[in-house]
Amino acid sequence: MLRGFTPQAALDAPRFCIASRNVETYALDSIASSSPSEVHVEEGVPEETCEKLRGNSHTNPRLASPLTRLCIAMGHDIRTAKSFGRGMLGRGQIIQKLTDPSGRLIWAAGSDQRGDGQAVAQI
């Protein structure tokens, strides 16, 4: 878990998946980028982020930071995963073992909203 997320917050965050295209689809796909892959993002990823990954940013490259210049040139084929299509992004449950400030062992758990199930710590 990154950036101090709780187990539930980590599971709830929007996801992405890089998927390869097969050669036939790549050759026929009218929105194919220079790379034979697609980046699937879940609803909730900001449109500004998707535009930067596509390379459609209207930022002046000469005035942009080095990271923004890199994003302007990315040219990824971004697809938004919606509804049942989100299944390709996986599901999960997390149980995290922590120690509270008093030194006591505690368990934190999270369960993914994308599927059924629950996370329960066994003691």
pLDDT tens for residues 20-29?
665 455 444 4
At residue 60, the pLDDT reads 53
Average pLDDT, rounded, for the chain: 76
At 79, which helix (H) or strand (E)? strand 78-81
Distances (CA, A) of 84 to 47, 60, 70, 92, 94: 20, 38, 32, 16, 22
**Model's pTM, two decimal places?**
0.61
The C-alpha atoms of residue 98 and residue 71 are separated, in whole angstroms, by: 37
* Amino acid code (one letter) for 88: M
pLDDT at 118: 83
Of 2, 33, 1, 28, give the one whose Cα is nearest residue 18.
33
In this structure, the chain runs to a length of 123
